[in-house]
Amino acid sequence: MAECTKKWEEIAREYRRYIRLEKNLSPNTVECYMRDLAEFAHFVLRMYDVPPQRVEPQMIERYMSWLYDQGRRRTSQARRLSGIKSFYNYLLLGDRIDTLPTEFVESPKFGRTLPDVLTVEEIDRIISVIDISTAKGIRDSAMLEVLYSCGLRVSELTSLRLGDLFFGEGYIRIVGKGDKERIVPVSSAARDKVQLYMERRKPRRDSEDTLFLNNRGQALTRIMVFTIIRKAALMAGIDKRISPHTFRHSYATHLLEGGASIRQVQELLGHENIMTTEIYTHVDRARLRETIEDKFDDLNLLALD
């Protein structure tokens, strides 16, 4: 078993370099891929004690069954299988294997869950409950305004730099997944709040160019942003599953409701594949259907009266 474990560790190190440098994946995505690969390797070593090159389709199917028995969500199962396929595609490209053991392993079937969406009024309520009499409150208010009005991922928000702000021209520059840049219009409300925050901002030498900082002058983490949003939503009395991504979902939905095309929304969100953007057309239709049903309910009530 020691020899096979050594093989897994050796190839895993090479694969990490490949997805980080060649595929240009973000550090968070790299860590996610490597955690999933380590779990799969542990399963294979424990059950079959073979190196990566000798894994067979039935071993992967057995692993997928094990995930199911563990109660893992279907989305989690599908993500792990996607990671395994990526790993074996890498081995095939490097002539380490002749055939893909993943080729006929099917991904679990699941319906796509529509994300929770906040109304414009709910967004305003969340931002308005923040106490802007403090430096922290001024920062939080500016941060949430930028998060929503520019439709950012939380990682894009926390990595924003002063050099990305082009307020005179009315936009900010976003460095998204795979270091791909895009230009996004910035609202006057976001611009004004950021400028007010800049008057209180106190960076450390190693974070001078980072826009949003914690009270120690360092860059905010994703968890900090998540906590700030959850607390503000609770204070605003909003009972929905809310995360930083909820603001991005809401931004996209509101753009479509306002008449933006799916292509325009794709560009603003930085989606590489338009199919990712198309989920928001389903959200929009679902909300329209709910509105129509509510109207019919009101009419039925009037008829009964």
Residue 208 and residue 72 share a domain:
no
Rounded CA-CA distance 40/80 in Å is 8
In a domain, 177, yes or no: yes
Burial of 232 (0-12, 13-18, 19+ CB in 10 A): buried
**48 and 133 inside one domain:** no
Point out the residues that are catalytic: 153, 177, 245, 248, 271, 280
Are 150 and 76 members of one domain?
no
- Residue 178 placed within a domain: yes
Q: Burial code of 103-128, b = ≥16 C-beta within 10 A, e = fewer?
A: eebeeeeeeeeebebbeeebbebbbe
Predicted local distance difference test score (pLDDT) of residue 110: 54
Residue 68 lies in a domain: yes
pLDDT at residue 305, rounded to an integer: 43
The CATH code of the domain that includes 275 is 1.10.443.10
Evaluate whether residue 295 is within a structural domain: no
Range of the domain at 154: 120-290
Q: Are 71 and 208 members of one domain?
A: no
On whether both 33 and 85 belong to a single domain, the answer is yes
Q: Number of folded domains in the chain?
A: 2
Spatial distance between the Cα atoms of 8 and 137, rounded to a whole number of angstroms: 49
The confidence score (pLDDT) of residue 274 equals 75
For residue 159, is it within any domain? Answer: yes
**Following DSSP, what letter does each residue of 88-146 receive, concatenated?**
HHHHHHTTS-SS-TTTTPPPPP-PPPPPP---HHHHHHHHHTS-TTSHHHHHHHHHHHH
Q: Is 210 helix (H, G, I), strand (E, B) or coil?
A: strand
How confident is the model at residue 272, as a pLDDT? 80
Contact status, residue 264 vs residue 298, Cβ threshold 8 Å: no
- pLDDT at residue 290, rounded to an integer: 46
Q: Are residues 125 and 78 in the same domain?
A: no
Residue pair 189/149 in contact by the 8 Å Cβ criterion: yes
Asked whether residue 113 is assigned to any structural domain, the reply reads: no
Residue 59, domain CATH: 1.10.150
Alpha carbon 29 to chain centroid, angstroms: 10
Torsion angle in degrees (nearest 10) through CA of 249, 250, 253, 258: -150
For every one of its 305 residues, what pLDDT tens digit does the chain have, with 9 covering 90 and above?
789 999 999 999 999 999 998 888 888 889 999 999 999 999 999 999 999 999 999 999 999 989 988 888 888 888 999 999 999 999 999 999 998 999 888 777 655 555 678 999 999 999 999 999 999 999 999 999 999 999 999 999 999 999 999 999 999 999 887 788 999 999 999 999 999 999 989 888 777 899 999 988 888 988 899 999 999 999 999 988 888 999 999 999 899 888 888 888 888 998 887 767 777 665 555 444 444 344 334 434 334 44
How far apart (Å, rounded) are the C-alpha atoms in residues 133 and 30? 40
Give pLDDT, residue 300: 41
Q: How far is CA 285 from CA 42, 65, 288, 289, in A?
A: 44, 36, 5, 6
Residue 147 and residue 86 in one domain: no
Q: What strands lie across the sheet with 165-166, from one edge to the other?
A: 165-166, 171-175, 181-185
Boundary (domain end) residue, out of 76, 93, 110: 93
Do residues 42 and 180 share a domain?
no
